[in-house]
Amino acid sequence: MAGTEFSDEPVFKLKLLVDKEKNKVVLAEICKDFVDVLFSFLILPMGTIVRLLQKYQQNCRDCDIQQRFRSQPATIGCFNNLYKSVVDMSTEDFLTEPCRHILLNPINAKERECKRLKVNIDDTIGARIWNNFCSLKCICGKFMEKEINTMEGCPKEIFGSGKKSFIILDNMEVGFCSIVLTLKALRGLGYTDLNKLDEMLVDVGHTEVLALLECLFSSDTPLMDVFLMKRSSCIITRTHNMPNLAVPACGKTKPNELPSVTVFVRKQDKKVLYAESGQEFVDLLLIFLAVPLESLWKISGANIKLGCIGTFYKSMKSLSSSEGTTSVLTCTSMLPMNYNFQAPRLDVCRKDYSVWTVLVNSRSYALKLMYPNYDRSTESTVHGSSGFVRRGTTYMISDDLTISPTNSCSTIRILKKLNVGLDEIEEHVINISNTEV
């Protein structure tokens, strides 16, 4: 069941403690392997999460599974729009086809660890010889399709600690299993009479894990929603204090600032209608699809309340920092080397380039690093700082982060759609620093 071999066969059995009167999950006892699966959510790139949930929701509609789990289809802020923008843009809008592929199928920096999970929901194709991009050709003209079989040793633990048993509350707070912690959790939830609680065994497979991932973004009570088929709602609130966007003085752009972005605003209520920018700002927006969930939550400063991710994230960090715990998650999530050009602006760790060698007929050959924007027509490898989208193009960005190459027709269409007169629009040229990023 490890790797990308998907099946609906149950892999885990969870013991739920259920409130009979309220028909709600109080807590569950879970094993280390299941904790590893849950914690793998945090190292998934955001683009992968969007793609997996869209695929899962489509399967629910096709198979009527939605009635089984009764979960609300999750929309992850503007990430669905960012992802759809890449889907809708043509290959010609990118430097190379692999540049588009690497955004639609982001590389997981912890790919090796995820392959060892009992249930690995990440169906992204793993590393192949030389590259992770199925459409990238070698300088000889052939596709590089051979799988890499590494000889590296793997640590015994994946993400969790050496502990064997854990408890998880309905809000996805995970802790070590002990009588002391269990009593503390039950008392904290207001339970003093265990006779009101029943034990319930449930099967968990690939479908249930995806349902939990979806509910992580859309519910305060994922366990109840998935296993008791109840529906709860969660209101997304944003408490982030945005800094003032400064209009730059001519010739005075700070070193850490991006090129200027032109923002078009409706005069009456100062609503942002859309923005126009060059390729560098678009590259920065698109790189968020490759950022792991853990890093995104850290970047936001936990100022966005979405489902129960905050509770889950804090409990994960607490487990990772506990005495005696040896966890991969004690290290900050990283961007693979293919995305390194924007990592400094995002305050995300970059994964160092590893020197790989391949053994062929008893001879050792060093593997050559190739970026996704390698252009075989010129037989040159563009440096990783060159980004994804075509240079010399202006892009239109709506307030919900839908991106498209600018042309007069699309501009007129959006003005008509918004029913805004030309004299009602004012434009501002702003600089976006690392703070706004």
Instruction: Give the start-to-end residue ranges of the domains of the chain.
Output: 12-241+281-368
Q: What distance in Å separates the CA atoms of residue 41 and residue 120, rounded to the nearest whole number?
A: 10
Length of the chain: 437
Indicate if the pLDDT at residue 264 is higher than 50: yes
Statement: the pTM of the whole predicted model exceeds 0.85: no
Residue 110 amino acid letter: K
Q: What is the pLDDT of residues 51-62, one digit of tens each?
A: 999 999 888 777
Rounded-to-integer distance, Cα 361 and Cα 86, Å: 42
Are residues 197 and 61 in contact, defined by beta-carbon separation less than 8 angstroms? no
Rounded CA separation 363/357 (Å): 10
How far apart (Å, rounded) are the C-alpha atoms in residues 89 and 112? Answer: 31
Number of Cβ within 10 Å of residue 236's Cβ equals: 13
According to DSSP, the β-strands at 334-335 and 349-350 are parallel
Strand (E) positions, 316-407? 334-335, 349-350, 357-360, 363-366, 395-398, 403-405
Q: Say how far apart CA 226 and CA 228 lie, in whole Å.
A: 6
- Number of neighbours of residue 179 by Cβ within 10 angstroms: 7
Q: Tell whether the model's pLDDT for residue 127 goes beyond 80.
A: no
Query: Would you say residue 1 has pLDDT above 50?
Result: no
160 or 178, which is more confident: 178
Question: What is the rounded average pLDDT of the residues 122-148?
Answer: 62
Sign of CA dihedral 436, 243, 347, 345: positive
Backbone angles phi, psi at 282, to 5 degrees: -65, -40
pLDDT at residue number 240: 44
- Residue 317: pLDDT band by 50, 70, 90 thresholds? confident
Q: Across all residues in the chain, what is the average pLDDT? A: 77
Percent of the chain with pLDDT over 70: 65
112: part of which helix (H) or strand (E)?
Answer: helix 111-114
Between these two residues, 298 and 21, which has the higher pLDDT value?
21
Could you tell me the pLDDT band of residue 289, with boundaries at 50, 70 and 90? very high
Task: Give the integer Cα–Cα distance in Å for 145 and 336.
Answer: 20
Compute and round to an integer the Cα radius of gyration of the chain: 24
pLDDT score of 6 more than 60: no
Check residue 378 and report its DSSP letter: T
For 411-422, what is each residue's pLDDT tens digit?
777 778 778 888
Q: 84-88, 147-151, 246-250 — which is least confidently predicted? A: 246-250
Q: Which residues of 275-312 are buried (b: 16+ CB within 10 A; e: fewer)?
A: bbbbbebbbbbbbbbbbbbbbbbbeeeeebebbbbbbb
pLDDT tier at 235, thresholds 50, 70, 90: very low
Q: How far apart are CA 420 and CA 29, in angstroms?
A: 56
Nearest Cα neighbor of 25 from 181, 317, 224, 206 is 224
Q: Please tell me the predicted confidence (pLDDT) of residue 247.
A: 42
- pLDDT more than 90, % of the chain: 32
- Residue 85 — left, alpha, or beta (φ > 0 → left; ψ -120 to 50 → alpha)? alpha
330-380 pLDDT, tens digit each:
445 677 777 766 555 666 666 665 666 667 777 776 666 666 666 655 555
- Joined together, the tokens standing for residue 46 give 């955001």
